[in-house]
Each structure stands twice: as C-alpha cells, then as structure tokens.
Amino acid sequence: MSVPLYRSRPGGFDIKPASRPEALRVHDGRVHDGIWLSEGLSNAYLVVTRAGRVVINTGMGFEAPVHKRNFDAVDGGPVRYILLTQGHVDHVGGVDLLRGPDTEIVAQAGNPAHQADDARIARFRAARSGFAFARAIGEAARTMREKIGGPVPTQSVPEPTITFEDRTRFELGGVRFELLATPGGETADSMVVWLPDERVCFTGNLFSALFGHFPNLVTIRGDRYREALRFIESLERVLALEPELLLVGHHQPVSGSSLIRSELERLRGAVQYVHDETVRGMNAGTDVHELMRDIRLPRELEVGQGYGKVSWSVRAIWETYAGWFHHRSTTELYPVPASSVHGDLVELAGGPDAVAKRAREKLDAGAPLEAIHLAEVALGAVPGHRGSLGASIDAHEQLLAESENFWETSWLRKQVGELRSLVESRPEEGAG
C-alpha cells in the first residue's frame, strides 16, 4: 500500500496570505513556460499565451496587489479572461484589480446564486469565520500597506460576463481551455479548468482546501451541506481526464498521472465508505452520535483529516438525508433548549461546586467532553463560577493537545481564550 500523499504536504496552518515577492513557474519535471503560480490564502494562477493572459482565481481583495505585481513581472499582456473555479471570497476577491477593460469574467452558472447567498448572510458568516482567519488577515492587510503601498483594495463581488452550465471551451493564443462543472466541490458553482494539450487541470478547492484530506461536507463556520455522492461524481469527472498535473487551491501542484489517479481513487473510496456506512447505520436505526463515534476509515482508505473530519461528515451525511430532527427528544421540535433547565439541575445537584467537582472527575478520568457538558450546566446557572471555568479550560486544552485539524484547533483556541477572559473579567461567583 502506498504512503498517502497528505503526510508529506503542508497543512491548514501553513496557508498564509500572499507575500511572496514573485510568481513561481509551474513544473512537473518539465517546465510549463506559460503557467505561473502566486500563492496566498488561495492560489492564483497565470497562463500566458501569445494573444494575452488568463488568470485563474484572484485571492482575497487585500492580496490582489501582490498577485498583480507578481503576474505583471512575468508578462505585461492584457488579461483576456479571469476564470473562477468557485465563488468563495478567497478566490474572487481580487477580480476588480486584476481585470482589464475588456476582460471576460467566466464562472459556472451557479455563481450568481452563490454570491447572493454570501451577501444574504455576510454578517453571520463573517462572525462565524473570524476565529480562524481574523488575525492572519489583519496582519496581512498591514503588511500589504507597508510593502506594497497605497490603499488596500476592497473585496470584489464580481459579476461574471460569461457563464455556462456543464461544459464550455475556448482557445487563446494557441492554448486550448476547457471548463467543466464540478458541483460536488465546496460550492455549487465549482468548476475545473482543463488544458488538454498540456494535460494540466486547475481544480481550485474541489478536493478540499488540503489535497489528500477528507472533504468538509459541512463547515463549522457555516455553509450549505455538500453531498457526498455529488462530490464523488465531480471527482470522477477529473479522474476521467487522466491529468498529469493538478494545480490545486492551496500549496504546491500534484504531479504524475499514476500518483494523481491513486490519490483520487483513495479519496473516492474513503468518501464512498463513510457515506455507505452512515446510510447503513441510519437504516439500522443507529443514533447519529454512535455513528460519529464508531465509523472509522479502513487502513487502505487512509486520508488526512486536517481540514474536514470523518465524524463531522457522518453527521453531515445523516442530516443531508434526514434533516435536523433526530427523533431523540420531543424538545427538538420546540424553541426551548436544554440550557433552559441548567439552573434547575445545578440546584438539584446541590450547587455549582458539586457540578464542577463532577466535571473535574470526568476530566481526570479522560472524558473531557463530558466535563465540558457538566461545566456548561454549572456556568449556565452561575456564569462566573471559577471551578467550572477552570474545568472547562482544562478540558478544552486536553482536546487541543490531541487535535490535528485546522478548524477544530482554531475553535478550541478561541474557546480557551474566551474562557480565560471570563476568568479575568468577571468577579468570582461561587466558591469553586
């Protein structure tokens, strides 16, 4: 069995805003003279032809000056096309700076609907994403002002001038481009760009932000659910091209047709296995939490879980099929959460000290999640209770020490920081 590629590739915390002083020439053992990469929060690519340039993805708005500087240093020809592999903000934000007066903006036909979603819940999504990216973005924006100079560009909200449903193609300066819809990616407007003569495929984040890792079928920041079977269909569309080079959304290219095939087949098998095991468990009447705990990938289907996680995807698959009502409690149907009786439980237990003591016992027994449950019950009744805050902090730090996932780690760090702030800002409540 071959060693999974993800083990030798950078992870989620290695994704940094654009800062390199030059674009990198793309190669896979042979140099592709006309293809260049400018790295950032998502990769931007340049294809140079004798009739002008094609840009594939544009990064965030504040990164656009770096990408433009890097690409203009390679070639000063007009930008004839900007191709957007998906509508996420880290792919479209630099369009306004990189486009020219006659540039065509090309996207899959679902792009306007995706952009409308983004606008509709922009405040909600920004609040849910900030814990993972706010510091890096703030530092990057300051760096842009210092190194590039001038105002930091605002985030583009591009309107495509050309859209297509399933497949389209064009030729520019002797280079053939084919665009294929891949709606199983991170967004419903996902597409890949295929250069058939070079056998190069630009996939964006079709295979997740980290190639070789399990996809995020739902994100903890908040997104529409992504369907496992549709993801597999889109993956197979790329497999059928038999590419020799994949230019992905983050980090370096993936080179070699046999390696690409084995990695995509492994990923396809992993997603299919998790889907099928989840559905089997649903039909057997197994609780979703039990499925989240018990479904594990077999060794031959090992993929990374540094961005998405198998357990999260189990729940995403369950709820994609069945919705939010899990048939565990009548209270799921009503707007009265379990926290509404936390005060009663604390009173019945003899006060917050007793609950905090039990939380500490759970933590000492290696059950940090149960400890958090108990600490939250006590804190729901007495928000500044020191013993409960301490038990919750220690439980989160125990989980943090074991986490290898970007989103999980970012969330746990956020929670630890907020709990410590509560300790520092609140007067002590309860003996603890």
Say which CATH number the domain at 379 has.
Answer: 1.25.40.880
Q: Judge if 286 and 233 occupy the same domain.
A: no
Q: Judge if 302 and 354 occupy the same domain.
A: no
Residues 182-210: pLDDT tens digits? 999 999 999 999 999 999 999 999 999 99
Domain C-terminal end among 278, 295, 322: 322
Q: Judge if 151 and 179 occupy the same domain.
A: yes
Q: Judge if 171 and 98 occupy the same domain.
A: yes
Q: Judge if 288 and 196 occupy the same domain.
A: no
CA distance 285 to 316: 17
Asked whether residue 262 is assigned to any structural domain, the reply reads no
C-alpha distances (whole Å) from 266 to each of 212, 222, 262, 272, 297 are 9, 27, 6, 10, 11
The pTM score is 0.94
Q: Judge if 150 and 200 occupy the same domain.
A: yes
CA distance 230 to 345: 45
Give the domain range for residue 359.
Answer: 335-425
Domain C-terminal end among 322, 344, 363: 322
HSE at residue 273, side-chain half, CA atoms within 13 A, is 19
Q: Judge if 28 and 74 occupy the same domain.
A: yes
Asked whether residue 430 is assigned to any structural domain, the reply reads no
Q: Judge if 216 and 278 occupy the same domain.
A: no
Residues 418-430: pLDDT tens digits? 999 999 887 665 5
Asked whether residue 330 is assigned to any structural domain, the reply reads no
Give how many domains the chain has, as a whole number: 3
Q: Judge if 230 and 342 occupy the same domain.
A: no
Alpha-carbon 24 to chain mean position = 24
Query: Apex CA 146: angle with CA 145 and CA 148, to 5°?
Result: 65
Residues 1-49: pLDDT tens digits? 689 999 999 999 999 888 888 998 897 555 567 999 999 999 999 999 9
Asked whether residue 220 is assigned to any structural domain, the reply reads yes
Where residue 115 sits, what CATH number does that domain have?
3.60.15.30
Can you give the pLDDT at residue 427?
67
Residues 135-146: pLDDT tens digits? 777 777 776 777
Asked whether residue 364 is assigned to any structural domain, the reply reads yes
Q: Judge if 275 and 369 occupy the same domain.
A: no
Residues 235-279: pLDDT tens digits? 999 999 999 999 999 999 999 999 999 999 999 999 999 999 999
Q: What is the mean pLDDT of the chain?
A: 93
Asked whether residue 329 is assigned to any structural domain, the reply reads no
Q: Judge if 236 and 276 occupy the same domain.
A: no
Q: Which whole number is the average pLDDT over 80-86?
A: 98
